[in-house]
Structure 1
Amino acid sequence: MLKRKYGDRSEWRRVRKRRYIHTFLDTDKFKGYVTLLEIQEVRDPLYVNYDGKKVCIADDGYIWLQHFPIEAHHSLTTMFDSQGNIVQWYVDICLECGIENNVPWMDDLFLDIIILPTGEVIKKDADELEEALSRGIIDALQYNIAWREANKLYTLISNDHFELMKLSKAHKEILLNKLNR
């Protein structure tokens, strides 16, 4: 069974105080749901380690903007620090995106791609995908979908053609304006 991840991240206990909003956008450049989680207060900041670099991805005042494109096999989360700077883009490869009880979701297919503002690209969790296949959590079709999507996106990212990343700041402003009305 695939893990379903929701855009409101309501299960995330680290966050003590939050504001959340989502919307559906249908433009020339993007069609799907966009969520914004404003992290007002956390128990403890969340740090990740990339090749010896410690990066804070969640703390008081951070914003997580997540795109759930219709008919795509990925979701993109852009993490902003309390000054509005992008900390990282995080691509989840997924089987599908949808909406349930008015909350966007995606079914995670294990593979991830992280893009840092420096341009560094990190591929993650290929081992988890292999294990999921060997344990029967996913089938060969889902396995192939994951690799096909990851390879396609990696090529787009490497050539600076993953246009969704370029929409993060504008979409954040759209949702912040709606949230602050």
Structure 2
Amino acid sequence: MVIRKYGERPGWSRILKRRYTFVEINSEQFTGGASLLHLVETAKPLWVSYDAKKICIVDHGYMWLQHFPLDENFTVTTMFDQNGKVVQWYIDICYKHGLDDQGPWWDDLFLDIIVLPSGDYFLVDEEELEEALHSGLINQEKYELAKNVAQKIMDELEENNMNLLRLSVYHKNELTALLK
């Protein structure tokens, strides 16, 4: 059983005031859904560390743009600071994603890839994927899917061929006007 997550991050108490929108995009560069979550006011900042780098990913005025590419087993969340600068891309490997009356969702397969603006990237939560397999939360097929999708994405990152990352600023600017 995979865990279903939603783009608007309902119930996340760290977000005190939010604005949100979701659109379907069908263009030459991207087909799928895109949501923008504006963290207007937060309870406190959230800092993460990768190697020696410490990065703030949640604070007042931050925006999270999430892409749900059609027929792919991942989503990409671009995290922007209050000045519109990308602080990181967070790639969630998923079994599938879709849309229901609560908005866009993805069925998380535990494995994630974090990409920094420097081009450095990190495969994370491998132990969660292993634990999910051994505890029966996921089967061998979903385990292998997660590993294969992650490897494909890392290959694209190595070749500087992950075009979706280049669209984030453009799509954030487009969706900002639609925030509610």
Give TM-score scaled by structure 2 length. Answer: 0.97
Residue 25 of structure 2 is matched in structure 1 by: 25
Using the TM superposition, give the Cα deviation of residue 164 of structure 1 relative to its aligned residue in structure 2, in angstroms. Answer: 0.6
Detail structure 1 runs of 4+ shifted over 4 Å in the superposition. none
Aligned length: 180
The secondary structure found in structure 1 opposite 2:71 is coil
CA distance in 1, matches of 2:52, 2:119: 16
Residue 121 of structure 2 is matched in structure 1 by: 121
The residue type paired with residue 83 of structure 1 is N
Residue 86 of structure 2 is matched in structure 1 by: 86
Using the TM superposition, give the Cα deviation of residue 52 of structure 1 relative to its aligned residue in structure 2, in angstroms. Answer: 2.8
The secondary structure found in structure 1 opposite 2:127 is helix
The residue type paired with residue 151 of structure 1 is Q
Residue 133 of structure 1 is matched in structure 2 by: 133
- Deviation per residue, 1:13-40 (Å, 9 max, x gap): 1000110001000112211110000011
CA distance in 1, matches of 2:70, 2:5: 16
The residue type paired with residue 105 of structure 1 is W
The secondary structure found in structure 2 opposite 1:149 is helix
Q: What RMSD in Å do the two structures reach over aligned CA positions?
A: 1.0
Residue 179 of structure 2 is matched in structure 1 by: 179
- Deviation per residue, 1:54-105 (Å, 9 max, x gap): 1100000100000111211000000000000000000000000101105000
The residue type paired with residue 177 of structure 1 is A
CA distance in 1, matches of 2:52, 2:161: 28
Residue segments in structure 1 that go unaligned for 5+ positions in a row: none
CA distance in 1, matches of 2:62, 2:115: 17
Residue 11 of structure 1 is matched in structure 2 by: 11
The residue type paired with residue 32 of structure 2 is G
Residue 37 of structure 2 is matched in structure 1 by: 37
CA distance in 1, matches of 2:145, 2:111: 11
CA distance in 2, matches of 1:61, 1:133: 38
Residue 107 of structure 1 is matched in structure 2 by: 107
Residue segments in structure 2 that go unaligned for 5+ positions in a row: none
1:60 and 2:60 matched: yes
The secondary structure found in structure 1 opposite 2:177 is helix
The secondary structure found in structure 2 opposite 1:134 is helix
CA distance in 1, matches of 2:16, 2:58: 12
